[in-house]
């Protein structure tokens, strides 16, 4: 099958030398891409900047901003059967990019930000994607309720949720524990390395894909 995975953080430029980004390492997404490839699938990994090596056997499309990730997904999602959105996409981007490096002057500086396109949230409506759609939810409170709201709002078949306020899991860690939020049930996958967890997640996503297509 053809599988799309988005991963890593986006970078939203402020001026030629500065950007707004977030703490995503991209590890979970890269492990998921590697696990799908290991299972014999054709994987396109659309990724923001990370310090990671591209997994063996995975097609790689590097992107920078939320807008460029949106464009890459729009271009490729049509031929995918499964799309897994692990990327930590910036929700807002500077309204204007300063053409020259901003100079220090006043004591305070206000940046005006505008919403970025919700790539996952428009996958069904804008791109007409009718395959298996999997989103991620990084939450600091009300994990299940927030993830379930995202599942409905973004038209997903599954949302994989993790609590990023818990020390030792998520973001820069090599470990994670996640909640699998399906329309009619919730499952919990206990603490494991992102490598092992990725194999469990890929298994769950493939089973979900097959069950919704029978």
Residues that bind ligand CTP (CB under 6 A): 6, 66, 85, 87, 89, 91, 116-120, 135-138, 150
Least distance from ligand CTP to the Cβ atom of residue 115, Å: 8
Q: Where are the beta strands (DSSP E) in 30-181?
A: 42-47, 58-62, 82-85, 92-94, 113-115, 132-139, 158-163, 175-181
Q: 22, 162, 174, 176: which one is catalytic?
A: 22
* Cβ-based nearer residue to ligand CTP, 103 or 161: 161
> Is 22 considered catalytic here?
yes
CA pair distance 15, 206, nearest whole angstrom = 42
Least distance from ligand CTP to the Cβ atom of residue 95, Å: 16
- Across 158-197, b (16+ Cβ under 10 Å) vs e yields bbbbbbbeeeebbeebeebbbbbbeeeeeeebeebebeeb
Residue 163, both tokens: 């609590």
Least distance from ligand CTP to the Cβ atom of residue 150, Å: 6
* Cβ-based nearer residue to ligand CTP, 16 or 78: 78
CA pair distance 99, 18, nearest whole angstrom = 11
Least distance from ligand CTP to the Cβ atom of residue 100, Å: 28
* Cβ-based nearer residue to ligand CTP, 74 or 111: 74
Q: For residue 138, give Cα distances in angstroms to 8, 24, 110, 183.
A: 13, 10, 27, 18
Rg (CA), the chain: 17
CA pair distance 194, 177, nearest whole angstrom = 9
* Cβ-based nearer residue to ligand CTP, 77 or 103: 77
Residues with a catalytic annotation lie at: 22
């Amino acid at each position: 099958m053809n599988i799309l995975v988005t991963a890593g953080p986006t970078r939203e430029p402020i001026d030629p030398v500065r950007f707004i980004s977030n703490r995503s390492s991209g590890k979970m997404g890269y492990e998921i891409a590697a696990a799908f490839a290991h299972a014999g699938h054709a994987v396109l990994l659309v990724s923001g900047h990370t310090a990671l090596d591209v997994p063996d056997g995975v097609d790689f499309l590097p992107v920078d901003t939320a807008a460029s990730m949106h464009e890459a997904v729009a271009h490729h999602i049509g031929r995918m059967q499964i799309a897994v959105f692990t990327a930590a996409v910036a929700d807002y981007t500077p309204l204007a990019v300063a053409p020259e490096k901003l100079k220090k002057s006043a004591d305070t500086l206000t940046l005006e930000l505008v919403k970025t396109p919700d790539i996952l949230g428009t996958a069904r409506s804008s791109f007409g994607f009718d395959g298996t759609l999997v989103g991620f939810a990084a939450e600091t409170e009300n994990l299940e309720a927030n993830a379930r709201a995202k599942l409905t709002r973004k038209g997903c078949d599954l949302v994989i949720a993790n609590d990023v306020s818990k020390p030792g899991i998520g973001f820069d860690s090599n470990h994670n524990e996640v909640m699998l939020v399906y329309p009619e049930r919730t499952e919990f996958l206990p603490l494991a390395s992102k490598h092992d967890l990725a194999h469990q997640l890929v298994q769950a996503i493939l089973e979900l894909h097959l069950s919704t297509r029978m």
